[in-house]
């Protein structure tokens, strides 16, 4: 009985470390996404000027949205993994 308790305690600590690592990865992904979003937001043209190179801007926005959707997908995957780890932790 005591060895089982010790084993469960070790597993609990391992899960806590895994959760902390996943949180850190998730935070890094969020920061990266936020930085990419700030860099790619179109700046308003000064008064009286029309924006130039619209085609280039549109292709850049498409690339950014695909990167954004990839980050969102990865973020959702991490959230599911964290939820599974929490569930495993509470079951034990």
Tens of pLDDT, residues 11-61: 999 999 999 999 999 999 988 888 888 877 666 666 665 555 555 555 555
The ranges assigned to domains in the chain are 15-39+76-92
pLDDT at site 83: 82
**Prediction pTM value:** 0.43
> Which residue's entry shows tokens 């008064």?
47
N- to C-terminal Cα distance for the chain? 14
Contacts of 37 (CB under 8 A, 6+ apart): 64, 68
pLDDT in tens, 16-27: 999 999 999 999
Sequence-distant (≥ 6) Cβ neighbours of residue 61 within 8 angstroms: 40, 42
Would you list the DSSP string of 15-44? HHHHHHHHHHHHHHHHHHHHHHHHHHSPPP
């Amino acid at each position: 009985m005591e060895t089982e308790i010790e084993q469960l305690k070790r597993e609990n600590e391992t899960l806590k470390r895994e959760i902390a690592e996943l949180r850190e990865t998730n935070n890094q992904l969020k920061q990266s996404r936020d930085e990419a979003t700030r860099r790619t937001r179109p700046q308003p043209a000064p008064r009286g000027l029309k924006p130039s190179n619209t085609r280039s801007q549109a292709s850049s926005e498409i690339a950014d949205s695909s990167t954004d959707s990839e980050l969102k997908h990865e973020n959702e995957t991490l959230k599911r993994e964290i939820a599974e780890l929490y569930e495993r932790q509470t079951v034990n």
